[in-house]
Structures are given as C-alpha cells and as structure tokens.
Amino acid sequence: MDSIYVNCNWHFKKKQNNYTKSTKHIVLSVFMYLSILILSWFPSTYCFYYLNLDGTWTASNGNNSIVVSANVPGGIYTDLVKTGALGDPYFRYNDLEYRWVALENWTFTRDFDVPNDFLSKTRVSLVAHGLDTVGEISINDQRVGTSNNMFVRYVFNVKDILKKENNTISVKFQSAIFYAKQKHLEQLVHYVIPPVCPPPTQKGVCHVNYIRKMQCSFSWDWGPAFPSQGIWKSVGLEGYDKAIIRNLVVNTFPVTISNVFSTWAISIIVHFETVNSSPADGTLEVKLDENLLIKYNNVTVQPDVKGFAKIKFNITVPRNISIYEWWPNGYGNQPLYNLTVSYIEDSNEEKTSKTVRIGFRTVELIQDVLDNGLSFYFRVNGIPIFAKGSNWIPADIFPERVTRNYIQKLLQSTKDANMNMLRVWGGGIYESDEFYDIADELGILIWQDLMFAVALYPVNDEFLYSVAEEVKQQIRRLQHHPSIIVWAGNNENEEALVSQWWPAIGTRQEQYRKDYLKLYIKTIRPIVIREDNSRQFLSSSPSNGLATEQAGWIAWDPQDTHFGDVHYYNYGNDGWDWHIYPRPRFVSEYGFQSYPSFETLKNVSKSDDWTYPFSKFLEHRQHHALGGVEINLSIIRHMNIPPYDAGKKGFKQLLYLSQINQAMSIKTETEYYRRCQSDIVKGEGLTRGALYWQLNDIWQAPSWSSIEYGGKWKMLHYFAVKFFAPLLVSPFEDGKGNISVSVISDYLAPQQNLTLHTVVHRWNTFLPKLDIATVFDQPPQTSQVIFTYSLDEILKKAKCSREECVFLFYLTNRDGKQEGPSNEIFLSPLNKARGIQKPKVKVVNVTKSAVTSGTFDIYLETDAIIPFLWLEAEDIKGHFSDNGFLATSSKFVVHFFSEEYIDTEEMQRKLQITTLMDS
C-alpha cells in the first residue's frame, strides 16, 4: 500500500463537566481515538495530504527487450544490478562493458490508486524532487511535463488527470549522452563551447557541459563514466485547498543594545505555493523547539499570477529562552534548534507547516586591505577560523547507494581528523539533506560550490532559465544550515578561461568572457544574493575574491597568492620539500595521488590484475595522464621501489609506498601552510585555510583521496589527524643550515609553560643520542618559531651524520604530560639512510578494551626503529588510533576501533603488518 501523509488541523471542544474514570469515559476515549485514526485515512477538507509514490516501479529499455523491477529513489544501473542483469559496475572493466546502459532510453512506470477525498482537494500536484535527467512525465497516457535538470524539483498540476483507481505514471528518459551530443550539435552552428570531450585517459563521454547533470557522471580524472537515468529522489502527490509552505529561508543575527549583546533575532522568509492568485487570510505561528515565539492573526498571503507568495518578518528571541552559539569543530559545541512555521488558513482551517533545524552563529569572510593584496579568512561568531579540511566529491557515482550511515562515517572521519571545513566540489551534486544535517551536528563548515566545473557552458535562454531555477531551489533548500558559510559559483572556470585551458578559447576569447559573465554574474549572482544575503558569494574557486569583483569579475590571474583562494598542484618537484609551495592567503585545493590499498582493490579485480611492475587493470583505473609515472618517480626520490620480479608482493608494496609518498607530501605542504598563518614575507602569507584534495573516493581507483571507497583510511588520513591537530609542532630545515621548529596553536587561550623536546635517534638504536629541551609560552591562534639550531652542531653533538639519524619532536606541559602529536624530520632520503634494519615485529597480545565497546588494545614489540609502520585488520571495518607512524620504542600499544562485532582471536588472526624494509 502506498503511504499517505496527512497533516490536519483538528479541533475538539472540551467538555465543561469532568468525567470520572468510568466505562462511559473509556468508551468515548476509544471512540475519539478511532475517529481520528479513521479520518486520517479518509481525510476531511482541513488537511494537507501527501501520497508517496516511492517504492517498486518497472523499468524498460527502448524496445522493451529488457524489463526489470526498479527502485524509486534509484537509478537504472543499480536496478539492473539488483535484478541480476548486471554484475558489479565497479568490477574490473565494467565501466566500459556497461556503457550500453547509458546509450539506451529507459522508461519507469508504476500503477497507483488515489483515495476519494484526496481527489476532492482543490489542487493535486505531482512533485518530483529529483529526475535524472531528461525525461517526459505522463499520467494515464497524458503528458504532464518534462524535465532536463537533475538538480531541480518539478511540480505539475495533475488533478484533472487522476482517477480513483488504476492510475499509471510513466517517466520516459532520454539517454543523457545523446541529449548532450544533440545540444552540442545545435550550438556548433554558432561556435564550440569547450571542452568537447574529456581527455582520453578518463575513458569518458562527451559534452557533459550541455546538460544539468552530475558533471563527473561523464567521467573525471578520479572517477568512471556512468551517466545514469532514473528517479533519483522521492516522488509523490500533494493535495491541498489553499496553500502550502514550500521553503523557509532563515537567518540568525545577534541583537545588541548600547553595544552590549542582548539576545538573538531570527529573520524568516516563508515561501508559499498556492492554488491560484487569490489572497488568503490566516494565522501564522512560529515555534523554536517547543517555545511559541509569535502568533500573528489576520496574516494575508498574496500570491503572484503564478501562485507563488512569500511573507518576510523578523523575530527577537525572548531573553528567557536560552540560546547557545553554534561553533565549528574544535571551537565549541553545535547546539541546534527546530524552527517550525505553521499557517492556518481562516476560511477552511487548512494547516500547512514546515520545520527546519537551525543554529545561532554569525559568519563573515574577511578581505581587509593589506600592504600587498587582501586578506582572506572566515570569522565565525567574531573569532578568526583557520580552515582545516578537505574537498568532498560524490561518495558514489550512483547517489542512491549512499546511505545516511555512510555519510555519517565519512563526516565523522572528517571530524576525527581535526578538520573543521569541507568544500563540496562543483562537479558533483548538491548533497542530500542528511549530509548537511550531519555536518551541522559535527561542526563541519561547508564551502558550497554550485554545480559547474572545469568547463565553459551554454548561455541560451533555455539553459539559463533552467540554471536560474536550480540555483533558486537549492539555496532555498540549503541556506538554513549553519554549517554552510559561502557559495562559490564554479570550480576553476575563471582560471580555465584566463589560462585558455582549451585551444578554442584563444579563437573567441571575447565571446567566452561575455558568456562567463552572463552565466555567473548576470544570472546566478543576483539569485544568490536575493535568496541568501547572509553569506558571501564568490564567483569562482580559485578566485581573487573582492579583487576579482573589482577587476570586472575576471581577474588577470585568479591564482594570485596575494588575494582569495588558490588551487596548487606540483607533481614535477619533490613533494617532501616545503620550499616548492607558495604562501597564499587560502588554499582550497592541493594534493598528490596514491593507490588504494590491496584490500580495497581486490574486491573489484582478480589475481591476473595483481602484477608488477605493470598492471593493465591499475593502468585502466588511472584516469590522470601520466599519473602512474608521477607516483613512481615520487617514490624513487625517497624510497626503494620493488624489483621488477616482485610479482604480487611488488604490486602490494607499490600500493603501500604510494600511500607513504602521498601522506608525506601533503603533510609537508599542509604544515607549511599552517606555519604561514601569522606573518607576511614579501607580501605573501597570512594563510588561513588549507583544504587538501580530496577527502573521499567515488570508486576503487588511484586518486588524491585520504579515505578509500568504502571508508577505509589511507595513511594520509592518519597523518591528517596529526597535521591538523589544534596544537602542532612542525620542524623544517630553514635553508640556512639550521633546523627550525614552529609551534602552531588553534586554541583561543594561551598555552603556558610548554616544553619542546628535540630528540635525536640513530636509526640502529632505540636509545636517544640527544634531547634538547626548550621552554616557551604559546599565544592563542598563532604560529611561531620556537627553536632554531645549527644542524651541523646538533649532528656533531649526537655523533651521527644526516644519513644515520632521525629527529623526533614533541611537546610536554608543566606536568610532563605530552601535548599534541609528535613529529619527525628525515635528514636524507630513506633509501640512502644508513643503519635502518629490517624489523621483527611481534603482536604480543590483543585484548578488548575495558572502557570502550568495540575497541581493541593491540600490544606490539619490535627489535628496530620502524618508519611508516602500517597496520591492517583485513576485511574488518574500522580504523586504528595511529598508523603509518615512526616507531621509536621497542614496545607500544595501538588501538583499533571496530565498526562490527568480532572477537579477539579473529582480530589477532586478521592483523597484518607492513614496514618500509619489506621492499
């Protein structure tokens, strides 16, 4: 049976006399309860109704040679997998083998009945929250509308088409590939809009910029091409007589009296959809949790000719209601409040309401004038925030496979790594409500790109109209989330235009510039500002921020380190050398590739693919041109690559070494950016954000991610826990023959009486050769150099050479307890180090923690210092307390946080240990 949601405004008059607990009283109570229950199935005119049409549909291809059961929400690929028509789309070369699915036209159908009283409503609308992508919708063989934008909610009036029983709905989708190609051919008579196709290494399909669809579904340099079709979000029927509340736009701001904070105010815009353009009067109520804030009588809803209306008002929260500020992760708590707006229409007492969850906080993007350029950082509740985090891509090429639990897992991993910000990248999707809800709960700030990436786009009327509706709807849906702090118009399109990434740009540069401004500045920007003036709009990322605006929205160099944000990649130089990196104001993308673990790859490959030095399968998954060569060259700079006859063992070792190189490179780069936050050198610096590329994977493949598809942490993510720690010790060679050490603090209070320990170890012994103690105080939210010492002098005192020693650094407080993570610096490439021994590592014992359920304490012993000790619990979901670390003690304990029930015997049996010396 289809589910029917009923929202009624029930009125029952209280009896004047008091009943005792008599049989009569019980009978009347039961009768009233049953009446309400029955009326909920046979609604009165006082109700708003929703008939959910999600569930089981039927999908068929163009000639009906394939007919399968389909899920809504869902998509055709997962439907074909579920019914056995396809295997795992991610297995081996199936991204090419299954390309035929995207070339077909698929039709989704189902039958449904509608209750009589539902049909008695003045308006009955079909509401499709997400259609992917180009479709024609029919009910009872009558066309009710079309779709051409994956990111738009479609609403169609279907009252006159419906009948009580045996209704049939169908959505006929057109191949996105052929649609995009047709739009390209239509445009081609005027001029080409690049890029025409993705690079051959991506093994993708062409013309994605002509269709408002997940851009990376046509392929990317880290993802496959699976341009799906289907009803990817919920669909159903709405029935009402007068009006419904479609959206609430909510902003919070502090109220001050005589320069003293008093309370908070809430600005609310209520967006209605009505049955016609006639005005209606009613009562408006606003609640914050269970507290009634206001109740307005005789409120008039005045629709426009299309039946849209809005009411805007401000509310001051009474001072007797306790309000607590919402903070980013690491700066405070994340209290959230339910805000409910209800409207009861006077003539028939029909009630409509909507609830959103809000947080009370202020956010500012600060771009102050400096001697050379502008600052660029975020301030939340008046406090400057160093943005620590990463970039989010779609968690699966098939959005219907992404569960709330998986989002929770990935975002919790973000918080666990001391991050406070994610950038939702512009080539994917506007994420689900669950994603932003969880970000709100965890204090993860969201830099929200609009869905345009690495392309120029059409600017014909049809395209711009669709984009305008998309942007309006998405901002209204998302803006109440306190986690979202900025809107950005696109990913890298200003830079692509200025740098002429495609040869065609040079032939019609003026035309493309005009088109760029028409799309982002004349169309999108006014909508963003109108719908949400509480956040900054950036036209692109990277951009020069305010300086880009002053330059007419196309800067001469969008990557100028004196302004805004930059994207920085450098694969030709040594990623372990901090000197190769810039000193920007804010870095919103940077990174290095690595391979996934063998545990992740083995699930989508077979033994024939696990070959070394060349794996055809691994090369097929490498969508970044020369990516494999870059990884190998980076490894060779510092470590020994496996011999050519190493076979499967060499294959696995290469995966491990690639993760070391990625982790060390991004560690080096991130620590440098954090060290640059407090000073300016030659006009550059005051860096206040580091978001590496990328957090998660869309499938099992070489990529820049720190978390593999499925949720397993790479070595990089374990390193991120440390290099994003609120108190960080960061050593470096300063280029003048010295070892210097910076200490970086995110804390809002000074850290006093700290001691920096500089410890020198020879590779062949656990016994330290030297320990230098430096006592200091750390001011709040600063980076400062604590220690500078001649490297030659230290080596002389320790009686070792660069190749023989490793330096370890850590902090202790006045009580001698360690504060923050330790850190180390290698003075020579590890393949040139002398004294490193092949260790014998023993698992002494594995016990279940007596404190935390699902936690295992793993006791280990080793007979030698181990760089990059790597632990794995084969096929057990979870992560370790530390991993990929430098082990400088003979005995140590590591914890494993399991996500599933296992016993200690199984945990010990599945433990695997890899060390650098294994190669």
Please answer whether residues 581 and 670 qualify as being in contact, where contact means their C-beta atoms are separated by less than 8 angstroms: no
Would you tell me how many other CB atoms lie within 10 Å of the CB of residue 65?
A: 8
- Radius of gyration, CA atoms only, the chain: 30
415: left (phi over 0), alpha (psi -120 to 50) or beta: alpha
Do residues 210 and 180 touch, judged by C-beta distance below 8 A?
yes
Rounded distance, CA 457 to CA 605, Å? Answer: 37
Q: Map residue 792 onto helix, strand or coil.
A: helix
Residues 6+ positions from 273 with CB-CB distance below 8 Å:
155, 243, 244, 246, 307, 308, 309
Spatial strand order of the sheet with 337-345 comes to 291-301, 280-288, 337-345, 351-358
Exactly one of 273, 345, 400, 492 is catalytic; which is it? Answer: 492
List phi, psi (to 5°) of 602: -65, -25
Contact 678, 784 (CB under 8 A): yes
Output DSSP code: residue 519. Answer: I
Tokens of 708: 């593999």
Coil, strand, or helix at residue 368?
Answer: coil
| CB distance 846 to 876 below 8 Å | no
**Would residue 589 show up in a list of annotated catalytic residues for this protein?**
yes
Considering 104, 345, 495, 589, which one is annotated as catalytic? Answer: 589
Helix 627-638 vs helix 647-675: crossing angle, to nearest 10: 80
Nearest 10 degrees: Cα torsion 238, 244, 249, 255: -150
Query: Which SS3 state, helix, strand or coil, does residue 425 take?
Result: coil
Residues 675 and 574: their CA atoms lie apart, in Å, by: 19
Q: Where are the alpha helices (DSSP H) in 87-190?
A: 94-97, 99-103, 116-119, 176-188
SS3 of 770, please? strand
Residue 199: cis peptide before it, omega within 30 degrees of 0: no
Tokens in use for 43?
A: 């609604």
Q: Which residue stretches of 9-134 are H helix?
A: 23-41, 76-82, 94-97, 99-103, 116-119
Dist CA 696 CA 708 (whole Å): 6
492 has catalytic annotation = yes
Whether omega before 694 lies within 30 degrees of 0, making that bond cis, reads yes
116 secondary structure, DSSP code: H
Phi, psi of 71 (to 5 degrees): -100, 140
CB 127 within 8 A of CB 235: yes
The residues assigned a catalytic role are 492, 589
